[in-house]
Structure 1
Amino acid sequence: LRNMYKLLKPTHIGITYMVEQLREHMSRTGHERIQSLPGDNLSTTFVETLLEIHTKYTDIIRQTFANDSEFISALDKACATIINMKNENRLPSKAPELLAHYCDSLLRKSSKTTTESELEEKLLKTIIIFNYLDDKDYFQRFYQKMLARRLINQQSSSMDAEEFLLTKLKEKCGYEFTGKLTRMFQDTKVSEDLNIKFLDYLKSETKSRVQNQTITALLGLDFYIYVLQANSWPVSQPAEKTFLIPQLLERPMRMFESFYNKQYNGRKLCWMYNLSNADIRMSHLDRPYFVTMNTYQMTILLMFNDHQKLTLNELEEATKLNIKELEKHLSSLIDNKILLSNTTDLTLNSIISINYEFKNKRTKFKISTVTQKETTQDAEISQNAIDDDRKFYLQAIVVRIMKSRKTLKHNLLIDEVITQSKQRFTPSISLIKKCIEILIDKQYLERHSADEYRYIT
């Protein structure tokens, strides 16, 4: 191949043929490798296979074709084709989601990557795959959700590594792409300061003069709060509007609200029970267990401090949880053998009791909630949300261009919009036309002639 390249280099037709053949070979080989991947741990095998393919052909091009720019371009096109492959026409490529999961697996505390330098090296390699994504905004959406879980549950293996990847994404796509991610980090740092100030506030309220007084001593329980900006985090308000928090939490929450209102007058707090966790010490067994669970599971379990047995109906009355939500969280406690039910299928008359024979090899563990798989309807809702975001993003770009140019031909406007939006995704011409029509209806633009637009001031 090296000798053939040297012979054909002076002839444009020969090199073009070689480039095209190599591109087709790389695309075909890549598709075959990706389609044959096993289902287990798909995100890791997907990314590592892509990196292996990229490294292999990068070395071939360097050693055989002297890093010829035409062959490098062929590698870029082949990698973009492989990575953005779609199984069905209507569904987006799975690559953004798989890449986000891979990053999450590296950055979570359970990651097997040992040193900081190894972690940063692997994260740097993920940027190679990220560069080829057509739908970078899809990656951002998945990555933001996973980052939120890591930050809220304090599962990040390294904040330096988190910020390292954020910096690399910012270098590739700009501040607008990473703006919300940056504000999420800022919120966690602001929350640290807030918790320190809250402790000082408690000391002043209780007139405590004890040095190094802890929040546990002042409130009777450990209490840590995250205050999140609603427009920066991918979280929704809890559906359970009627939920009754345990009495144990009422005083700490009211005191924090009082403190926060004095700090930031006019701001409104909405408690996100669905995202909160609790560490419970179970001392009624032959040895103590420390269990991490969500707020709803904790509320159910605390009911048994005062009762030996309760029916499902009584639990519903006491917690004011929706029956389906109650069953979901109760089932996880029963599945983990912490609680017992006298019936296999839960009904309103099912009797729930504490399992005094509970045993576990680990004294510290976490209870997961029974999660339901994403339905086709949920996938469509997510898809519609991203489509709406894209429309607003494209409209902003069109307005920005037209405000600068005042008048512009149709084709030139389309080309400019595609160029400016490529950092996030590659829009279809039909979507751009639809956004232009929306802006004309909103009287931001008007048709100056058959193929020209004018910005309305």
Structure 2
Amino acid sequence: MEYVHRAQSRLQEERVRASTLDLPASTRAALLRIVETELIERHARTLVEMEGSGFASILKVVASSPAIGSVAAASGPGGGVGSSRMMMPAGGDSSESSVVIDHERIKDLASMYELFSRVPSSVNHLRDALSERIKIDGRALVKDQENNVAPPAAFVKGILAMRERFHAVVTDAMKGEKKAQKRMKESFEDFLNADARAANCLAVYVDELLRVGLRGADERKVSMELDRVIVIFRYLSDKDVFEAYYKNHLAKRLLGNKSGSEEAERAMVSLLKAECGYQFTSKLEGMFNDMRISKETAEKYRSHKKSLNNTVSNDSRDAENGGKPVDVEVSVLTTGYWPSQNVAPCILPPAVKAAMDRFQKYYLNTYTGRKLSWQTSTGSAEIRATFHPQKGSSKPRRHDLSVTTYQMCILVLFNTRDTLTLKQIRDETNIPEEELRRHLVSLCTPKHRILRKGSKGKGISGDDDTFTYNADYTSKMTRVKVPMVSMRDASSASSGGAKGAGSASAAGGASKSAGLVDGSASVPLSVEEDRRHLLEAAIVRIMKARKVLNHNDLVAEVTRQLSGRFVPPPQFVKKRVESLIEREYLERDEADRRVYRYMA
């Protein structure tokens, strides 16, 4: 930096000297250009790349500023008592952000930018250094996520911290220069759009934010956090991938009642609508509408049951529940709005099936012309389990277990038998194999060992592996929520009571949709299918309006129309055009094979 300060001094001296000598304006300008060329342009690359004090080195220090509370943040990179480095949280409020901005270093970058701006062509070196640093740091974050060093939420937090630091550099050091802003945007887009990973991870981060991160936050905090998310969202080209994962997580939050704030949920949808238009969020808004209508339907059904005044059921299937009807709360969902799934219904306990049949009869009599398709892979249940009394007591211990629908189906089997094999459970519940193993492993964890597994180790050995009701299960809590192990943990593990209230969902409830795996870098199969339909519809719409169009113009127009959701590669467009020609929507011009004609 010493050279920068001396160069600025020399330029000022020359300016004063030219003024003192009263040189003509043309001579003065030519003289200053010579000095600027010698002091700035000839040494621009060296000043940028110089080890330790060059623009790139200082930028690296700013980009790697430690989090608030660390020793480095308190004492500066040198760690010495005499360090005068001043680090401030982004926005100047440590309660709002854990990102530290090294303002003293940014002042150094600003001095260098001010010097280089005298020779506009030299500023390209600064922009190149900025772009390269963003790409290097971004690719490092991507690599950490690929190697499972950082989970999806941590990956996004790293991107947000990066963006705030480099935004401060562009805004404060480079005076908010438009070209620098453009290079920063392009650099973020370069590594974020290398695959679909960023869109996936951002949806996971938003899910975490809306479940727990914004719980109890005021309106200003919610707005600030969601605005930060939207900034990263704008960099994504695979916005449809984000939508697929976001919709899947939103469905789980709504059906599981896990949203931290309904206002925050609606605020996020409003921001997405402002960015991408009504079509992007129409299904999301439909999901909220379904939940509102479901609550109203549930209230009407409760009133209907009270009017019947049936405290004792006449249905023989309720005998296993002491003759009392099981209380169910049903979410009725519109198939087109919710993540699609093709999971066969499992075999439910007779008392639960009786309660569902009663609701279905009421619903179809109330709303004629509709059809209910039960999604037993979703939902939750409250079951009351009885265990052996404690030592010195004759009173049985009771716990209210909060479990999934699948876990309920498994546990109810142990009312009549103490031990069952994996094959027996599968045959009597019809739960899909992967989900069955996952739910069984969740019931056998050390903290919640409601069932005892016959084989040693975490995994399930095979069809003959046994599961025994653990009558000695203990917990300090009367009401116990049994957590699910992740699908990844269940897969790796496999390779290496009384009834209570239940809940179910109908017509398109959320579950693990095909291809939707958190942290995956690939485009889900369902999204690829949607892209084919969207692309073909866009091609037909354009050709119907234009009648005749050459290939390059068609590709350009299709890309422009679909860029709000995804950017189709030219090869993908070509394949869909070929498909439409085969189905006689389009034809090639006989004189020029690169020209297409619309066939009415």
TM-score for the superposition, normalised by structure 1: 0.85
CA contact (8 A) 2:196 2:522 kept: no
SS of residue paired to 1:275: coil
The structure-2 alpha-carbon separation of the partners of 1:341 and 1:64, relative to structure 1 and needing over 3 Å to count, comes to closer
Partners of 2:352 and 2:209 in 1: CA distance: 35
Q: CA deviation at 1:395?
A: 1.1
Q: For structure 1, which segment, 347-356 or 126-135, has the greater mean C-alpha deviation from structure 2 after superposition?
A: 347-356
Q: CA deviation at 1:235?
A: 3.7
1:343-422 to 2 correspondences below 5 Å: 344=456, 352-373=467-488, 383-422=524-563
SS of residue paired to 1:437: helix
Segments of 5+ residues of structure 1 without an aligned counterpart are: 87-91, 209-215
CA contact (8 A) 1:34 1:49 kept: no
> Deviations for 1:221-261, whole angstroms, at most 9, x for unmatched residues?
33210112222211413235xx4321211321111111121
Match of 1:62 among 164, 168, 171: 171
Which position in structure 2 is the counterpart of 1:441? 582
Q: CA deviation at 1:347?
A: 6.4
Which position in structure 2 is the counterpart of 1:165? 268
**Percent identity of equivalent pairs:** 30
Q: For structure 1, which segment, 127-136 or 197-206, has the greater mean C-alpha deviation from structure 2 after superposition?
A: 197-206
Which position in structure 1 is the counterpart of 2:41? none
The structure-2 alpha-carbon separation of the partners of 1:310 and 1:10, relative to structure 1 and needing over 3 Å to count, comes to closer
The alignment status of 1:228 with 2:337, answered yes or no, reads no
The alignment status of 1:452 with 2:452, answered yes or no, reads no
Partners of 2:228 and 2:479 in 1: CA distance: 35
Which position in structure 1 is the counterpart of 2:284? 181
SS of residue paired to 2:596: strand
The structure-2 alpha-carbon separation of the partners of 1:44 and 1:11, relative to structure 1 and needing over 3 Å to count, comes to same
The structure-2 alpha-carbon separation of the partners of 1:129 and 1:219, relative to structure 1 and needing over 3 Å to count, comes to farther
CA contact (8 A) 2:207 2:250 kept: yes
Q: Which one-letter code corresponds to 2:451 in the other structure?
A: L
The structure-2 alpha-carbon separation of the partners of 1:291 and 1:64, relative to structure 1 and needing over 3 Å to count, comes to same
The alignment status of 1:116 with 2:218, answered yes or no, reads yes
Which position in structure 2 is the counterpart of 1:94? 197
Partners of 1:324 and 1:57 in 2: CA distance: 44
Which position in structure 1 is the counterpart of 2:507? none
Partners of 2:140 and 2:421 in 1: CA distance: 56
> Deviations for 1:295-341, whole angstroms, at most 9, x for unmatched residues?
23212322333445556666556545567765553443233321235
CA contact (8 A) 2:547 2:598 kept: yes
Q: Work out the number of aligned pairs and report it.
A: 440
Partners of 1:323 and 1:391 in 2: CA distance: 31
1:286-297 to 2 correspondences below 5 Å: 286=389, 287-297=397-407
Q: Which one-letter code corresponds to 1:395 in the other structure?
A: E
Which position in structure 1 is the counterpart of 2:258? 155
Q: For structure 1, which segment, 6-15 or 190-199, has the greater mean C-alpha deviation from structure 2 after superposition?
A: 6-15
Partners of 2:427 and 2:113 in 1: CA distance: 79
Q: For structure 1, which segment, 130-139 or 175-184, has the greater mean C-alpha deviation from structure 2 after superposition?
A: 175-184
CA contact (8 A) 2:197 2:522 kept: no
> Deviations for 1:105-149, whole angstroms, at most 9, x for unmatched residues?
1111x4475413323321221111111112111111111111111
Which position in structure 2 is the counterpart of 1:340? 452
Match of 1:71 among 153, 161, 180: 180
CA contact (8 A) 2:141 2:155 kept: no
SS of residue paired to 1:236: coil
Which position in structure 1 is the counterpart of 2:410? 300
CA contact (8 A) 1:113 1:119 kept: no
Partners of 2:535 and 2:279 in 1: CA distance: 13
The structure-2 alpha-carbon separation of the partners of 1:326 and 1:447, relative to structure 1 and needing over 3 Å to count, comes to closer
SS of residue paired to 2:328: coil
Partners of 2:133 and 2:439 in 1: CA distance: 52
Q: Which one-letter code corresponds to 2:329 in the other structure?
A: Y
CA contact (8 A) 2:414 2:469 kept: yes
> Deviations for 1:73-99, whole angstroms, at most 9, x for unmatched residues?
111111112322x4xxxxx34111111
Q: CA deviation at 1:264?
A: 2.6
CA contact (8 A) 2:214 2:260 kept: no
Q: CA deviation at 1:452?
A: 2.7
Q: CA deviation at 1:10?
A: 6.1
Q: Which one-letter code corresponds to 1:116 in the other structure?
A: D
Match of 2:350 among 243, 247, 253: 247
Segments of 5+ residues of structure 2 without an aligned counterpart are: 1-108, 312-320, 390-396, 493-513
Partners of 1:347 and 1:18 in 2: CA distance: 62
Partners of 2:155 and 2:530 in 1: CA distance: 28
SS of residue paired to 2:400: strand
Q: CA deviation at 1:371?
A: 4.7
Q: Which one-letter code corresponds to 1:22 in the other structure?
A: L
